[in-house]
Amino acid sequence: MASGINHIKGTLLIAIPVGLVGFFGGGGIPDGLACALGCLSGIILSPDLDVEHRTESEYLIYRVLGKFLGAIWFAFWWPYGKMIPHRSPLSHAPILGTIIRILYIYGLGGILWFAFAWAITGHGTWLPMPNWLHPLAFWWLIGLIFADALHYIMDVLPFWKQHRYPWWMRTLRKLFR
C-alpha cells in the first residue's frame, strides 16, 4: 500500500494525461478540463475515506479550508468510514467504489440539505441532482475513476508498498537468516 502522500503525488502526475483523454475522447477543452478536474477530485474524494482516522486528503482539507470546514468534512465522512471496512471492494474497486462514494455524497448530503432547508425555511427541498449524461459531468466522473484506478494499482503493486525497512535491506535479511 502506498502512503497518502504518494497517492496524492500519483494523482497529480496523471492529471494532465487524463485530461488529454477527455480532450481527445470528448472533443474539446471543456471535456479535457472536466476529466482532469475529476482526476484531481480523487485527491479529496479518495478511496481512503473509509478509514476511521484522518487521511492525508483530510489534512489537506484542513490546511486549505481551515479547521472549521475541515471538521465538517471529517464529520461528513465519519459514518462512511464506520460502515465500510478499509480496502474493501466497496471503497477501493475503481468503478464500484467511485459510484458508492458519489451515492454516499448524494444520500447523506441530500438528507443534510433537506434538514438544513427545513430548519431555515420551514419546508425542505431536495438536493438537485446533476445530469450525469451531460458531457462535462460524464468526463468529470471518468477522471475520478482514473484517479481511483491509480489508487487501487498503487495499493496492489508491491513496489509502492510501505515497509519498515527498504527493499534491499529486507532482501539481505532474507538471504542471511
Asked if 57 and 43 count as a contact pair (C-beta separation under 8 A), the reply is yes
pLDDT computed for residue 89 by the predictor:
83
90: containing domain: 4-175
Is it the case that residue 78 has pLDDT exceeding 70? yes
Helix (H, G, I), strand (E, B) or coil at 164: coil
Is it the case that residue 177 has pLDDT exceeding 70? no
Q: How far is CA 67 from the centre of its chain?
A: 20
C-alpha cell, 71? 471538521
Tell me how far CA of residue 116 lies from CA of 78, 82, 126, in angstroms: 19, 24, 10
Tell me how far CA of residue 10 lies from CA of 48, 79, 122, in angstroms: 14, 27, 46
How many structural domains comprise the chain? 1
pLDDT in tens, 129-138: 666 678 888 9
Asked if 138 and 132 count as a contact pair (C-beta separation under 8 A), the reply is yes
Nearest to 21 by CA among 9, 10, 36, 11: 36
DSSP code at position 123? S
pLDDT computed for residue 130 by the predictor:
67
| Dist. CA 90–CA 100, nearest whole Å | 7
Nearest to 78 by CA among 58, 93, 98: 58
Rg of the chain (C-alpha set): 19
Percent pLDDT > 70 in the chain is: 82
pLDDT higher at 163 or 90: 90
Is it the case that residue 175 has pLDDT exceeding 70? no
Q: List, in sequence order, the alpha helices (H) in 3-134.
A: 4-26, 29-41, 56-65, 67-83, 89-92, 94-121
pLDDT in tens, 103-146: 998 888 888 888 887 888 877 676 676 666 788 889 999 999 99
Tell me how far CA of residue 51 lies from CA of 32, 80, 86, 116, in angstroms: 31, 8, 6, 27
Confidence label for 96 from pLDDT (cuts 50, 70 and 90): very high
Query: What pTM, to 2 d.p., does this model score?
Result: 0.79
